[in-house]
């Protein structure tokens, strides 16, 4: 292809990953730096934006080691969506960022959904408590001083792009999927915004919408010097980390499904025509690829559950080597437990349910315990609980006549072959891997390559830049066994959901 180097940057929940790609889409260097999440109240989750930027500088410094950074011609960024912060005119944060998984804006979500406005048709009939608009409304109602003084209320991605270029813009990907921007209905709806109490939105959010691969701007001289990047570097628009991951997975044709298996799970597929289904998010018009519709499912808690389990119950694992990865040790123990964990059921709804129940008040649950169960049983049951949640979402896609016959996956779960096999067995669907598994940074490189003019479109670029690897095939005997447990998983939610709602109300009155 013969084009210069490209930088991809992926801001996830636990940290930021940077990668530099050459003209053959091969990764030359990659680095990661973490940041913390804070939980000030039950159901709340926050991060500090300056920690994002400091981690980015650290990861970028490691990534550029041994490379000539002057050869980098373009870059793009993806980030968690619905991670919301208020800033002043200079981009300085006025409060901690409200993380995507934060569920404080339940009342505001109910207000928005009660409108029944026609734009909600393009988000499965309602908005989620996680999204941008409920959180913005929460800030307006609960932090009025911050709301009034805010120059912009924006997403994590928008803030990073501002720090890079000095421009406040939004991504068409995030605006469409999380802000109710609908290009088939003329874009932003003044009527809808007034109806939900955000009639002043044009003065508060970045209404200039740039599509994926579109030009955001040139890096500012000050930021180029700070980061050690060329002053002529062009920044192109990215989007939601999971959705840009579709480009890094080669999931650019209708009928394929990409599943980003990280802190949360996100399930994404494209269609040629809009598909309306109450159990799914969308259909989103041209959110990633122009003239294709996007359908989305998701699990709020997935990889975060394994981290929680490790932190709470695996601090004294029996290591044979001090350098052993605790997740691998736990997975090795879980592998010796039979499918079904000898009668355990785990609900994966620690921070609510995104799909298909859309229940922010749902919480985790475990039942079936006996004195013969061990930590290994519990860990395997957690892995299986997340897999049941994935199967539940696939059933919603199938009911919408979007039959899923193959999954292309990326994310931290790929490092855990035991869990990957469990997911294949529970769902009965083959899981394909790509040779380069960090789909977020590769998807950003796809977007930047299109922005630089090296491909005609995102689909063409993705197909050229992504290589596929092995496929994990389901064990059909285990699939049959898991079907019994899966029905119990669904029944457990059905029985406990009313009690979880009562508990949420009780705790709210006490808090």
Claim to verify: residue 369 and residue 457 sit in the same structural domain: no
Answer yes or no: do 448 and 498 share one domain: no
* Closest C-alpha to 218, from 230, 229, 234, 231: 234
Question: Do residues 231 and 313 both lie within one domain?
Answer: no
Q: Which is nearest to 105 in space by CA: 215, 196, 11, 13?
A: 196
Amino acid 319: pLDDT: 64
DSSP state of 323: T
Q: How many CB atoms lie within 10 A of CB 477?
A: 10
Q: By three-state DSSP, how is residue 231 classified?
A: coil
**Which of 37, 33, 31 minimizes the C-alpha distance to 19?**
31
For residues 128 and 179, give the distance between their C-alpha atoms in angstroms, rounded to a whole number: 10
CB atoms within 10 A of CB 383: 28
Residues 429-467 pLDDT 10s: 999 999 999 999 999 999 999 999 999 999 999 999 999
Within 10 angstroms of residue 275's Cβ, the number of other Cβ atoms is 17
Does one domain contain both 455 and 495?
Answer: no
- pLDDT above 50: residue 32: yes
Residue 120 preceded by cis peptide, ω within 30 = no
* Cis-peptide, bond into residue 356, ω within 30° of zero: yes
Asked if the structure places residue 263 within a domain, the reply is no
> Does the structure show a pLDDT above 70 at 511?
no
115 inside domain: yes
- Residue range 275-295: average pLDDT? 93
Residue 403 lies in a domain: yes
- Other beta carbons less than 10 A from residue 36's beta carbon: 11
Distance separating alpha carbons of residues 285 and 127, to the nearest angstrom: 16
Report strand pairing: 46-47 vs 72-79: unpaired
Asked whether the beta carbons of 363 and 502 are under 8 A apart, the reply is no
* pLDDT number for residue 360: 87
358 in the same domain as 313: yes
Residue 2: the pLDDT is 53
The DSSP code sequence of 96-156 is: -EE-TT----HHHHHHHHHT--GGGGGGTTS--TTSHHHHHHHHHHH-HHHHHH-SEEEEH
Residue 111 has what pLDDT?
Answer: 96
Res 255: pLDDT: 78
Q: Quick one: what percent of the chain has pLDDT higher than 90?
A: 89
Average pLDDT rounded to a whole number, residues 67-84: 96
- How many CB atoms are closer than 10 A to CB 30? 17
Same domain for 461 and 405, yes or no, is: no
Tell me the pLDDT tens digit for each residue of 387-413.
999 999 999 999 998 888 889 999 889
Q: Are 39 and 185 part of one and the same domain?
A: yes
**46 lies in some domain:** yes
Within 10 A of 92 (CB to CB), how many other CB atoms are there?
11
Q: How far is CA 30 from the centre of its chain?
A: 20
The values of phi and psi at residue 369, to 5°, are -65, 140
pLDDT above 70 covers a percentage of the chain that reads 98
pLDDT at 504 over 60: yes
Asked whether residue 283 is domain-assigned, the answer is: no
Give the 3-state secondary structure of residue 19: strand
Q: pTM for this structure?
A: 0.87
224-271: per-residue pLDDT in tens? Answer: 999 999 999 999 999 999 999 999 999 998 878 999 998 899 999 999
Question: Do residues 451 and 399 make contact, with C-beta atoms less than 8 angstroms apart?
Answer: no
Question: Residue 65: what pLDDT?
Answer: 95
Total domains in the chain come to 2
The verdict on 505 and 365 lying in the same domain is yes
**Range of the structural domain that residue 502 is part of:** 300-409+475-510
Quick one: 457 and 500 in the same domain? no
What pLDDT, on the 0 to 100 scale, is given for residue 510?
Answer: 53
Give the CA dihedral 471, 420, 254, 455, nearest 10 degrees: -70
Residue 313 is part of a domain; what is its CATH number? 3.30.420.40
Query: Among residues 157, 504, 196, which one has the least CA distance to residue 362?
Result: 504
Asked if residue 331 and residue 233 are part of one domain, the reply reads no
What was the pLDDT predicted at 229? 97
Buried b / exposed e along 207-245 (16+ C-beta atoms within 10 A):
bebbbbbbbbbbbbeebbeebebbeebbbbbbbbbbbbb
Tell me if residue 435 falls in helix, strand or coil: coil
SS3 468: strand
Task: Confirm whether 267 is domain-assigned.
Answer: no
Tell whether 354 and 454 lie within a shared domain.
Answer: no
Residue 334 lies in a domain: yes
The alpha-carbon radius of gyration of the chain (Å, integer) is 22
Q: What is the pLDDT of residue 1?
A: 46
Instruction: Determine the Cα–Cα distance for residues 372 and 374; give it in Å rounded to an integer.
Output: 7
Q: With 70 as the cut, is the pLDDT of residue 374 above it?
A: yes
Q: Does residue 427 lie in a domain region? A: no
Q: Are residues 381 and 482 in the same domain?
A: yes
Output b/e per residue, 113-150; b: 16+ Cβ within 10 A.
Answer: beeebebbebbbbbbbbbbbbbbbbbbbeeeeeebeeb
Of 249, 248, 261, 192, nearest to 416 by C-alpha is 261
Q: How confident is the model at residue 278 (pLDDT cuts 50, 70, 90)?
A: confident
Residue range 335-363: average pLDDT? 95
What does each C-alpha distance from 190 to 101, 153, 182, 354, 440 come to in angstroms?
27, 17, 12, 27, 33
């Amino acid at each position: 292809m013969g084009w210069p180097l490209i930088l991809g940057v992926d801001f996830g929940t636990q940290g930021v990953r940077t990668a530099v790609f050459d003209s053959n889409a091969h990764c030359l260097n990659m680095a990661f730096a973490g940041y913390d999440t804070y939980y000030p109240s039950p159901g709340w989750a926050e991060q500090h934006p300056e920690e994002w930027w400091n981690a980015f500088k650290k990861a970028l410094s490691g990534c550029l080691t041994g490379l000539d950074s002057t050869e980098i011609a373009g870059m793009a960024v993806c980030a968690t969506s619905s991670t919301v912060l208020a800033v002043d005119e200079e981009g300085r944060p006025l409060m901690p960022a409200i993380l995507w998984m934060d569920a404080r804006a339940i009342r505001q979500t109910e207000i928005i959904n009660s409108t029944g406005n026609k734009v909600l048709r393009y988000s499965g009939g309602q908005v989620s408590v996680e999204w941008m608009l409920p959180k913005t409304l929460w800030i307006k109602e609960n932090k009025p001083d911050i709301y009034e003084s805010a120059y912009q209320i924006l997403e994590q991605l928008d803030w990073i792009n501002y720090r890079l270029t000095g421009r406040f813009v939004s991504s068409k990907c995030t605006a469409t999927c999380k802000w109710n921007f609908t290009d088939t209905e003329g874009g932003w709806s003044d009527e809808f915004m007034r109806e939900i109490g955000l009639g002043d939105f044009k003065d508060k959010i970045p209404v200039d919408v740039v599509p994926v691969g579109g030009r955001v701007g040139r890096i500012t001289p000050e930021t180029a010097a700070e980061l050690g990047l060329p002053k002529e570097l062009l920044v192109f628009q990215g989007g939601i980390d999971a959705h840009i991951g579709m480009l890094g997975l080669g999931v650019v044709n209708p009928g394929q499904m990409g599943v980003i298996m990280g802190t949360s799970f996100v399930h994404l597929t494209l269609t040629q025509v809009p598909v309306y289904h109450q159990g799914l998010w969308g259909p989103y018009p041209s959110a990633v690829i122009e003239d294709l519709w996007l359908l989305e499912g998701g699990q709020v808690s997935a990889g975060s559950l394994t981290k929680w389990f490790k932190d709470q119950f695996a601090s004294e694992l029996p290591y044979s080597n001090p350098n052993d990865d605790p997740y691998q040790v736990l997975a090795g123990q879980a592998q010796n437990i039979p499918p079904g964990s000898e009668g355990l059921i785990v609900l994966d709804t620690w921070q609510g349910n995104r799909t298909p129940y859309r229940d922010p008040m749902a919480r985790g649950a475990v039942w079936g315990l006996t004195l013969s169960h061990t930590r290994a049983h519990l860990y395997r049951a957690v892995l299986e609980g997340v897999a049941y949640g994935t199967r539940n979402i696939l059933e919603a896609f199938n009911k919408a006549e979007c039959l899923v016959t193959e999954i292309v996956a990326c994310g931290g779960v790929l490092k855990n072959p035991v869990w990957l096999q469990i997911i294949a067995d529970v769902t009965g669907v083959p899981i394909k891997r790509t040779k380069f598994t960090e789909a977020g940074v590769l998807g950003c490189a796809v977007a930047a390559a299109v922005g630089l003019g090296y491909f005609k479109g995102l689909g063409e670029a993705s197909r050229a830049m992504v290589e596929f690897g092995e496929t994990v095939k389901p064990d059909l005997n285990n699939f049959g066994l898991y079907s019994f447990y899966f029905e119990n998983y669904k029944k457990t939610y059905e029985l406990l959901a009313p009690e979880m709602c009562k508990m949420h109300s009780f705790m709210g009155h006490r808090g």
